[in-house]
Amino acid sequence: MKFAYLAGLSLSLSVFAQLSAASDKDRCGKVTLADMNWNSATLIAHIDQFVLNHAFNCKAELVPGDTMPTGASMIEKGEPDIAPEFWSNSMKEAIDKGIREQRLMVAGKTLSEGGEEGFWVPEYLVRQYPELNSIEGVLKHTELFSHPEYSDKSAFYGCPAGWNCQISAGNLFKALKLEQAGFDLVDPGSGAALSGSIARAYERQEPWFGYYWAPTAVLGKYKMVKVDFGVKPDVEEFLNCTTQADCLSPKVTMYPPSPVNTLVTASFAEQSPEAMAYLGRRSFTNQQMNQLLAWMEDSQADGEMAMEYFLREHQDVWQAWLTDARAEQVVQALKRL
């Protein structure tokens, strides 16, 4: 009897030791997340902070971030621990090197389809002229796209001056020979003016043709159709010529998807494998994010307000990222807000 008791006690202690070791291995502790200065990024950062704190018992805090300085700091200093929305092409060589040197890891895709760029026309216009979903159709109807200043030209709204996309949009404008077809490359002057031109066209149900990207509030509010150039994305051409200011002979290519990932430091990945697994599952489609950004804009909501809205109104989305037990912890935390 005594030996059975001691054997049982020994087994219990062994199980306890194993559980303790597993717990130590996955102790989350203090975590820093980059709160980037655009709406989708700050929304995701606030979602991750809330989930990590309440589902994984982390001590997660947000720190200000932006793509270039955050990427450099994660590589050189190992902080912050997490960049929830990182557009990797913006500093691809440095990020790839950081991954090779095992300083960084990609936890998963923030945007499952990647960032999306293209030339667009309003959906209501395509319903009237179905051929406008292709560049050949657009070139057959140049007269529809009246210019705000010149009666003898058609308007193509490009990317604002000083933005990286100004180069790619300009090179594709040249490759597609839009100027020869009668189009003028209009510099909208700012991102707000570019989105305003789409909103104005929609309010008046007028033709519009130009560059835009997703996910954005604009493409969440206004249904637009991406114009098909008749070719597949050529990543090598895009990186080596389309996006280069000194590209002399650009070729036609569709915009390839821009990888938008969640980056973490190697130390965080080792620190909390279960939280790391959550980040690997946490992902949004462009349509989901477009709609959330449209809600943020209409509600004048910041990242914290949008996080609460998302967690309350879209439980079917985020609960799939967690076990039932961890999802319930988040639900209970929401009730305490």
Per-residue pLDDT, 26: 56
Report how far residue 228's alpha carbon sits from residue 126's, in angstroms, rounded to the nearest whole number.
12
Report how far residue 260's alpha carbon sits from residue 262's, in angstroms, rounded to the nearest whole number.
7
Query: pLDDT digit string (tens) for 213-268?
Result: 999 999 999 999 999 999 999 999 998 999 899 999 999 999 999 899 999 999 99
Confidence of residue 269 (pLDDT cuts 50, 70, 90): very high
- 20 pLDDT higher than 50: no
- 7 pLDDT higher than 60: no
Kindly state the DSSP code that residue 253 receives in the 8-state scheme: -
Edge-to-edge strand list for the sheet holding 59-65: 59-65, 30-36, 82-87, 260-265, 104-109
Helix, coil or strand: residue 85: strand
Mean pLDDT of 160-165: 85
- 71 pLDDT higher than 70: yes
Cβ atoms within 10 Å of 264's Cβ, excluding its own? 29
User: 121, 129 in Cβ contact below 8 A?
Assistant: no
Mean pLDDT of 277-288: 97
- What stretch of H or E contains 5? helix 2-25
Structure tokens at 221: 């509010």
Report how far residue 40's alpha carbon sits from residue 62's, in angstroms, rounded to the nearest whole number.
15
Per-residue pLDDT, 37: 86
Report how far residue 115's alpha carbon sits from residue 291's, in angstroms, rounded to the nearest whole number.
15
32-36, 65-69, 120-124: segment of lowest average pLDDT: 65-69
- 101 pLDDT higher than 70: yes
Q: How far is CA 268 from CA 28, 31, 68, 80, 82, in A?
A: 8, 8, 20, 10, 8
Per-residue pLDDT, 92: 83
Edge-to-edge strand list for the sheet holding 183-186: 183-186, 154-157, 210-214, 116-122, 224-226
Confidence of residue 93 (pLDDT cuts 50, 70, 90): confident
Mean pLDDT of 163-182: 95
Mean pLDDT of 14-42: 70
Confidence of residue 179 (pLDDT cuts 50, 70, 90): very high
Cβ atoms within 10 Å of 4's Cβ, excluding its own? 8
Choose between 93 and 145: higher pLDDT. Answer: 145
Cβ atoms within 10 Å of 168's Cβ, excluding its own? 23
Helix, coil or strand: residue 177: coil
Report how far residue 107's alpha carbon sits from residue 91's, in angstroms, rounded to the nearest whole number.
17
Report how far residue 122's alpha carbon sits from residue 227's, in angstroms, rounded to the nearest whole number.
10
User: 311, 318 in Cβ contact below 8 A?
Assistant: yes
Choose between 39 and 22: higher pLDDT. Answer: 39
Per-residue pLDDT, 15: 36
Report how far residue 190's alpha carbon sits from residue 8's, in angstroms, rounded to the nearest whole number.
72
Query: pLDDT digit string (tens) for 137-155?
Result: 999 999 999 999 999 999 9
- 163 pLDDT higher than 80: yes
Per-residue pLDDT, 39: 93
- 9 pLDDT higher than 50: no
Cα dihedral across residues 246, 248, 249, 250: positive or negative: positive
